[in-house]
Structure 1
Amino acid sequence: MISDIIEQESYKELIDSQIKDIIEYLIDNSEEFAITANLEAMEFTPELPQNIKSQLSKFSLYVLANYTYTTIEIIDDNKLTFEAGFGSENFGSKVTLPLHSIFQIIIDDAILYLNPLATVDKFNTSSKEKSLNVFKNNPKNKNLIK
């Protein structure tokens, strides 16, 4: 069954490596690109205002071009960061996301890479959400949660 493969940590590491290699190749060749990524795995610094974040779909398109392209970094071999402006007011935020949460890499309206792992919920929650879940699952904290 496919879930037996794509839910394995070793497969996630393989995908991280593939996506890292592709992005580094694109950067080395000065090729701008776009991604769609799982919003649930993304972190925004500063946090996006709710009126902007609520307009983003679970798999939103991010065009990594011009200024945003110059801010791309791969950190810890498994995360992508870039700066972008959001909404009509161009609210600036640094985006950080795990590489395996990138669903598509796109060049000129053509899909270069497609990653089914971006749809696996267990790998695609933000660190804030994971921390909250750990807190909620501790029986000693039951009286602190409404």
Structure 2
Amino acid sequence: MLQEFLENEIFVRLMRVHVHETLELLFQEGVNFSILANIAEVDFDPPLPVHITQHFKPITMFVLAGYTYESARVDETMLVFEAGFGKENMGSVVQVPLSAILQVVIEETPILINLSIPRESEEEKEALEKGGIEKSMVALLSNPENKKLFKNS
């Protein structure tokens, strides 16, 4: 019964709106915050190399402060911000679907917990699978050592 409720389309939509409105208020009030997000749903542009992404946990925290906070924007479906990663501080634009945000945290205290479980449509599943293959290939080829695995045509 709980699982069905957490997957309920109305509840999922309600949580997405709640996440959006909470983020809007935080930006309006100028409050720095962190999010815990399902990393499988997060997109990086440009993609990050494997030596950075291999250290990400399935649920990853992003701190929005300083330039990252200033670059951030939110709309009805997505939180977007720029951040630096790794020792090289490699810059990337991070796109986090609001449904992938599991917690919003201020000073180590969760102020929002999103327990909803969005269902993917068949079109979304196909797009994710295709995107996953493309992301995997980009990650694989980002390491020069892996390029020798492919024959030159």
Structures share a fold, TM > 0.5? Answer: yes
Structure 1 counterpart SS, 2:35: strand
| Structure 2: segments with no counterpart, 5+ residues | 133-153
Q: Which residue of 1 aligns with 2:128?
A: 129
Deviation string, structure 1 residues 77-119 (Cα, Å, up to 9, x no partner) = 11110110111111100011110111111101111111122xx
Does structure 2 conserve the Cα–Cα contact (< 8 Å) formed by 1:20 and 1:99?
Answer: yes
Q: Which residue of 2 aligns with 1:86?
A: 85
What is the alpha-carbon distance in structure 2 between the residues aligned to residue 22 and residue 132 of structure 1? 29
Q: Which residue of 1 aligns with 2:12?
A: 12
| Structure 1: segments with no counterpart, 5+ residues | 134-146
Q: 1:126 to 1:22 in 2, by over 3 A?
A: farther
Letter in structure 1 aligned against 2:58: K
What is the alpha-carbon distance in structure 2 between the residues aligned to residue 37 and residue 132 of structure 1? 18
Q: Which residue of 1 aligns with 2:67?
A: 67
What is the alpha-carbon distance in structure 2 between the residues aligned to residue 13 and residue 116 of structure 1? 12
Q: 1:90 to 1:110 in 2, by over 3 A?
A: same
What is the alpha-carbon distance in structure 1 between the residues aligned to residue 115 and residue 36 of structure 2? 12
Q: Which residue of 1 aligns with 2:98?
A: 99
Q: 1:31 to 1:93 in 2, by over 3 A?
A: same
State the number of aligned residues: 129
What is the alpha-carbon distance in structure 1 between the residues aligned to residue 125 and residue 62 of structure 2? 18
Q: Which residue of 2 aligns with 1:45?
A: 45
**RMSD, matched Cα:** 2.1
What displacement does 1:47 show? 0.5
TM-score (normalised: structure 1): 0.80
Q: Residue 3 in 1 paired to residue 3 in 2?
A: yes
Does structure 2 conserve the Cα–Cα contact (< 8 Å) formed by 1:19 and 1:99?
Answer: yes
Does structure 1 conserve the Cα–Cα contact (< 8 Å) formed by 2:102 and 2:114?
Answer: yes
The sequence identity of aligned pairs, in percent, is 30
Structure 2 counterpart SS, 1:131: helix
Letter in structure 2 aligned against 1:91: M
What is the alpha-carbon distance in structure 2 between the residues aligned to residue 15 and residue 33 of structure 1? 18
